[in-house]
Structure 1
Amino acid sequence: MLEFYEQLPDYMSSDDLEILFNNFLCFVDLNEHDLEEALESLWELADRQWHTFKLLKSDIKIKVEDWLISTIDFNSVEIIGWIIGIIGHLGLERAFDILCKALKGDLTDEVRNRIEGAINEYGENVQNPFSGM
């Protein structure tokens, strides 16, 4: 099921994407899944949402962000990489704040570098994925 998302057209309407975000959230809540595969699928949806040049509706944004926060594993550079990409495409401030606060903790150099890179890239404009365009 999750491999379906990478086969979607590059450009889609925000209404169609809203349905797909909800379907994704239902799927990951109800089914066993590989976390990295799920994050990659969510990134595919986030990328298509970014291409609409519209922010995700707030109710869906909250649900996506809640799920994403629940997946954070600071021991996995791959998971952190997917999460950073999704944050950037959807403007997920709460998840970004959690990553920023994690810098005070014990992280591998690779995870720390990824988070610091995201801070440099997104800066104070994380809530607006279209800033600088």
Structure 2
Amino acid sequence: MKESDATGVIRIQDMEAQVFKALLHYMYTDSLPKTKKRKRRMSMCQHLLVAADRYNLERLKLICKEKLCGHIDAGTMANILALAEQHHCHGLKKACFSFKCSSENLRAFMATEGFDHVSRSCPSVVKELIAMLSA
């Protein structure tokens, strides 16, 4: 592989070692590694979604989508929505939009710093949201 050096070592520059280890775990077992803490599990699913998109692992992408859909709230939605948009995960994006349908959830989301982040990084998503709300 072109990434290897003279010693035969392949370096993956843009992925944390623990994420790569979890990716290998999935590839060998067809399951995600067990983690006890919710926040750690959510973070790993987000990183694995990126890796799944990069390496075209559609089943892993689907597993991560299902896990993330179950943890959408006002505090996590911005990151999840940005990931969904950037990595072409339409089902996850749809789940985020469904969460925002309630005016209470939308107000809570708009009060977070994450809303500002999504507005800057994915303005098309904000346009979609406005179009959806005005329909």
TM-score scaled by structure 1?
A: 0.53
* Shift, 1:37, TM fit: 2.9
The answer on whether the counterparts of 2:77 and 2:109 sit within 8 Å (CA) in structure 1 is yes
What is the number of equivalent residue pairs in this alignment? 106
The answer on whether the counterparts of 1:87 and 1:95 sit within 8 Å (CA) in structure 2 is yes
For 1:32, the equivalent position in structure 2 comes to 36
The answer on whether the counterparts of 1:103 and 1:112 sit within 8 Å (CA) in structure 2 is no
Kindly indicate whether structure 1 or structure 2 has the higher relative contact order, using CA contacts under 8 Å at least 6 residues apart: 1
Gaps of 5+ in 1: 1-7, 125-133
How far apart are the structure 1 equivalents of 2:86 and 2:21? 17
Q: How much identity, in percent, do the aligned residues show?
A: 7
Q: Deviations over 1:100-125 (max 9, x none)?
A: 1233212152414739848743478x
Following TM superposition, where does structure 1 have runs of at least 4 consecutive aligned residues deviating by more than 2 angstroms? 15-23, 25-28, 35-50, 101-104, 112-124
* Deviates most, 37-46 or 60-69: 37-46
The answer on whether the counterparts of 1:49 and 1:89 sit within 8 Å (CA) in structure 2 is no
How far apart are the structure 2 equivalents of 1:109 and 1:11? 34
Q: Deviations over 1:11-69 (max 9, x none)?
A: 69xx988535567x5224xx411x3333333333444556x4x5x32222221111111
Q: 1:58 to 1:95 in 2, by over 3 A?
A: same
For 1:128, the equivalent position in structure 2 comes to none
TM-score scaled by structure 2?
A: 0.52
RMSD: 4.0
* Shift, 1:97, TM fit: 0.7
Amino acid of the structure 2 residue aligned with 1:44: H
Residue 92 (structure 1) aligned with residue 98 (structure 2):
no
